[in-house]
Structure 1
Amino acid sequence: MKTIQLCNRSIDVLKAYQAPTGAFPAAPDYPPYNYVWLRDGTFIARALDLVGEREGAAAFYRFASRTIVAHGFKVERALAAAACGRPIDDGSCLHTRYTLSGEEGREPWGNFQLDGYGTFLWGLAAHLQAGGPWEDIYRRAVDLVVRYLTGLWQHPCLDCWEEYGDYRHPSTLAAIYGGLKAILPWLEDESRKTGFHDAGGEPEGEQNPGRMVLKVDDVLERLPELARSEFIRDGNWVKFAGQDAVDANLLWLGVPFGLCSLDDPVFTATVARIATELCSGGVKRYAADTYYGGGQWLLLTAWLAWYYRLRGEEAPARELLAWVEDRADNNGFLPEQVPENLTSEAHYHYWLERWGPIANPLLWSHAMYIISVRGMEV
């Protein structure tokens, strides 16, 4: 009964905080997170699609698409900067977060992140597969994002935790791979409709969907090989090259982005390390994490449960979901993390003084709980 109640409460929370624009604030009552992240928003929309709330999901994808198109001039800026070896800064990249009206944030932030844009493609494709119409605004946004990702996928950028921007990250590559692979059938359909099936002599961008298909095919062929050559060490995936730590975001490689199959021995060895080294009731991001002391994240705990459920291992999944359920407050809100099994007590108090209490509710936590309960397909 607790699962049904919290799942229903989570649906209500997501719907209640959706802005009239279609945007979802990451955490409505926590000022630093009162923005829209494409990554968070896409998983929220995916959760709504899974429970039949199609219009809420569609409203988010329309918002995200309008926002991408409005800032689409930055795609050429970023590609030009990369081609010339210049840094990709806030003025030349698509940002990772936007206001609820689709504007860029003005405070300093780590904005050059690619995983959110891959995640957007993955979620939009799932929405379309579930019956959502292929709207013109989607097509325009997809064209921009595909050009952006196929041009920059090898470029170092911040990871999904907005850290280590001088590195490439397997979780980011997984999101790019999963997004491009998921949206490819719609690109191929556009190519057939226009009659552009080759790369010869036609202009770039939306005028030549055939060229876009070829670029995507090229990335889908090359990316897995690069990832395996760079990020596998001693039989498991690592957080980034040059060290041997694992990160819970490595779950993305299998669930949902499919860079690895769920029974791939390197991936299963990696998940075993995550479960052993990062999970003590709930799941930490990574062992050296000090954000709010390095506590246990509800969305990652639900993510590991999702993996176990897809593998048919209901007992460990149920244990993890029960842990999440027990962390809901009296309002049925799920926070970002809880200060349990901290890595650094001093850093917990540092962040409390700097930004206040931990974000609660975090809409991504509610979304991942719904997905773990309801999402038996990736």
Structure 2
Amino acid sequence: MNRLRELAEVSHAIITGNQDAGGAYPAAPTFSAYRGYAWLRDGSFTAEGISRYGDVGSAGRFHDWVDRVLRSRRRQVDVLCAAHARGERPDDAAMLPTRFTFDGADGSDPWWDFQTDGYGIWLWSVVNHAVRHGLELDRWRGGIDVAVDYLVAFWDRPCYDWWEEHVEQRHVSTLGAIYGGLVAIAPYTDIAVLDVAERIRSLVLAEGIYDGRLTKWLGTSAVDGSLPACVVPFGLVNGEVGAATLTAVADDLDVDGGVHRFAADVFYGGGQWILLSALLGWNLAAAGDTAGAWRHLRWIAEQATPDGELPEQVPHHLLHPGSRDEWIVRWGTVATPLLWSHGMYLILADELGVLPEKV
């Protein structure tokens, strides 16, 4: 237990020690392709872990940063929504990006940038933080309104998934993230977001189910390691569909406690991802499978470097080992530390009562 609690302390220190002065959480401070950028998806899950740890200031500064970034995009979203209302389809390049520089600008190099999930995840994260610590959401109202308007207009548009692939598809984990964000913000907005949330749920139940469980995108039978998020925390499905989804992810992608992204994954050979192990463990804890959740927490702790850093993925049980070297040549060794990995560890540690006394 002491080792697990110490890793939580190190995770908090790594996240906050690398937080930009303006509030952004860098995805990975030393990794070539991520350095200098912050993602709403990564950062919002990281902020949830930091908020659970009890560091109200650090999580609040992240939400302040997102609020500033989104308020600065008010005009861009108004133009996009007006085009949508006229029946036009803006180019992907005109849409909001998935990652920002620390000063809120677009990236200067090409990226798979059109992804909507992060905007829903941020709404979920900022509401959780405010409710948990008794804060007023009006502090982030400008950014919230931008995110809501953007998602209400474009929730059903195909975009890249969590892994920045398959822009032509409508991804179930993306739809789940938007659903979770809209449901979370519903009590705090006058916009009829619950109507949109119900449309999302109806669409997924009609086209995103195979053999009684969720699928990677609408119309396929594939499984993805991000799908448990549609159960916990986003609540898109529960009951039999939720249980069958967790079982499919465990059966197809979980090996010894480490979870792969998807069967065809060739990124760094298709290793096991720390954050996905934590996500599945979080779901198991919520479902009452405490032993299963502990299995994942301990597996994660075993992957830490001697300095307590958690990587993005580890090369155990590689799905496609022949593809690993090409990524090392392209981008260097695997991102370490990945702040999202540390944030997810904090969430699972909190679920299991491992976090030290709150700061």
Instruction: Name the TM tier (shorter chain).
Output: over 0.9
Identity of aligned residues (%): 42
Which residues in structure 2 correspond to 1:52-91 (within 5 Å)?
52-83=54-85, 84-90=87-93
Q: Which residue of 1 aligns with 2:16?
A: 15
Which residues in structure 2 correspond to 1:115-264 (within 5 Å)?
115-134=117-136, 136=138, 138-187=140-189, 210=190, 212=191, 214=192, 216-261=193-238, 264=239
Q: Which residue of 2 aligns with 1:347?
A: 323
Spell out, residue by residue over 1:199-245, the C-alpha distance to the aligned partner (whole angstroms, 9 max, x if none).
xxxxxxxxxxx4x2x2x132022221111101001211110123211
Deviation (angstroms), 1:267: 1.6
Deviation (angstroms), 1:31: 2.2
CA–CA separation in structure 1 for the residues paired with 2:200 and 2:71: 26
* Match status 1:321 vs 2:294: no
Deviation (angstroms), 1:342: 1.0
Matched residue SS, 1:175 = helix
Deviation (angstroms), 1:181: 0.8
TM-score (norm 2): 0.94
CA–CA separation in structure 1 for the residues paired with 2:194 and 2:28: 37
Q: Which residue of 1 aligns with 2:244?
A: 269
Change over 3 Å in CA distance of 1:129–1:43 after alignment to 2: same
CA–CA separation in structure 2 for the residues paired with 1:95 and 1:27: 18
Deviation (angstroms), 1:155: 0.8
Deviation (angstroms), 1:82: 4.1
Deviation (angstroms), 1:106: 1.1
CA–CA separation in structure 1 for the residues paired with 2:255 and 2:84: 42
CA–CA separation in structure 1 for the residues paired with 2:164 and 2:182: 22
The amino acid of 2:19's aligned partner reads Q
Q: Which residue of 2 aligns with 1:50?
A: 52
Deviation (angstroms), 1:269: 1.0
The amino acid of 2:253's aligned partner reads L
The amino acid of 1:318's aligned partner reads W
The amino acid of 1:220's aligned partner reads A
- More divergent stretch after superposition (105-114 vs 75-84): 75-84
Q: Which residue of 2 aligns with 1:299?
A: 275
Report if the CA contact (8 A) 2:124-2:185 is conserved: yes
1:331 to 290, 307, 315: 307
The amino acid of 1:101's aligned partner reads D
Which residues in structure 2 correspond to 1:96-115 (within 5 Å)?
96-115=98-117
Count the aligned residue pairs: 349
Deviation (angstroms), 1:55: 0.6
Deviation (angstroms), 1:135: 5.6
Q: Which residue of 2 aligns with 1:201?
A: none
CA–CA separation in structure 2 for the residues paired with 1:266 and 1:218: 22
Deviation (angstroms), 1:288: 0.7
Spell out, residue by residue over 1:9-49, the C-alpha distance to the aligned partner (whole angstroms, 9 max, x if none).
11111111111101110000112112100011111111111
Work out which of the two has the higher radius of gyration on C-alpha atoms and give 1 or 2.
1
Change over 3 Å in CA distance of 1:81–1:31 after alignment to 2: farther
Report if the CA contact (8 A) 1:66-1:137 is conserved: no
CA–CA separation in structure 2 for the residues paired with 1:50 and 1:365: 15
The amino acid of 1:7's aligned partner reads A
CA–CA separation in structure 2 for the residues paired with 1:158 and 1:123: 21
CA–CA separation in structure 1 for the residues paired with 2:216 and 2:75: 32
CA–CA separation in structure 2 for the residues paired with 1:256 and 1:152: 22
For structure 2, the 5+ residue unaligned runs are 354-359
Higher RCO (CA 8 Å, separation ≥ 6 residues): 2
Deviation (angstroms), 1:318: 1.3
Deviation (angstroms), 1:81: 4.5
Instruction: State the superposition RMSD in angstroms.
Output: 1.5
Q: Which residue of 2 aligns with 1:205?
A: none
The amino acid of 1:228's aligned partner reads L
Q: Which residue of 2 aligns with 1:358?
A: 334
Matched residue SS, 2:33 = helix
The amino acid of 1:22's aligned partner reads G
The amino acid of 1:125's aligned partner reads V
CA–CA separation in structure 2 for the residues paired with 1:173 and 1:135: 24
Deviation (angstroms), 1:270: 1.5
TM-score (norm 1): 0.89
The amino acid of 1:159's aligned partner reads D
Deviation (angstroms), 1:77: 3.2
CA–CA separation in structure 1 for the residues paired with 2:206 and 2:138: 39
Deviation (angstroms), 1:309: 1.1
1:94 to 90, 93, 96: 96
Matched residue SS, 1:36 = strand
The amino acid of 1:293's aligned partner reads G
